């Protein structure tokens, strides 16, 4: 799975569930928690999610 596909999945999950958790996403996408944190940072810069302690929610 590529970076863009993973980020798209993160946004879709956040919209579907109302929020996402870094630990759960790392397990689901089989990547490091740091990778998910970087993804959330980029998605927040693009105005797609708002980061929280340990996760994010859709904007």
Going from N- to C-terminal start, the domains of the chain cover 3-53
For residue 9, count other CB atoms closer than 10 A to its CB: 16
- Predicted local distance difference test score (pLDDT) of residue 1: 83
- Predicted local distance difference test score (pLDDT) of residue 59: 94
The CATH code for residues 3-53 is 1.10.10
Name the residue among 12, 30, 29, 26 with its Cα closest to residue 55: 26
The rounded distance, in Å, linking the Cα atoms of 30 and 15 is 20
Give the max Cα distance, the chain: 26
pLDDT tens column, 15-50: 999 999 999 999 999 999 999 999 999 999 999 999
- Predicted local distance difference test score (pLDDT) of residue 42: 98
């Amino acid at each position: 799975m590529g970076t863009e596909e993973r980020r798209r999945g993160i946004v879709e999950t956040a919209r579907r569930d109302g929020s996402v958790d870094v630990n759960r996403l790392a397990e689901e996408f089989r990547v490091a928690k740091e990778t998910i944190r970087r993804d959330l940072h980029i998605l927040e810069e693009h105005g797609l999610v708002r980061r929280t302690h340990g996760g994010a929610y859709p904007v």
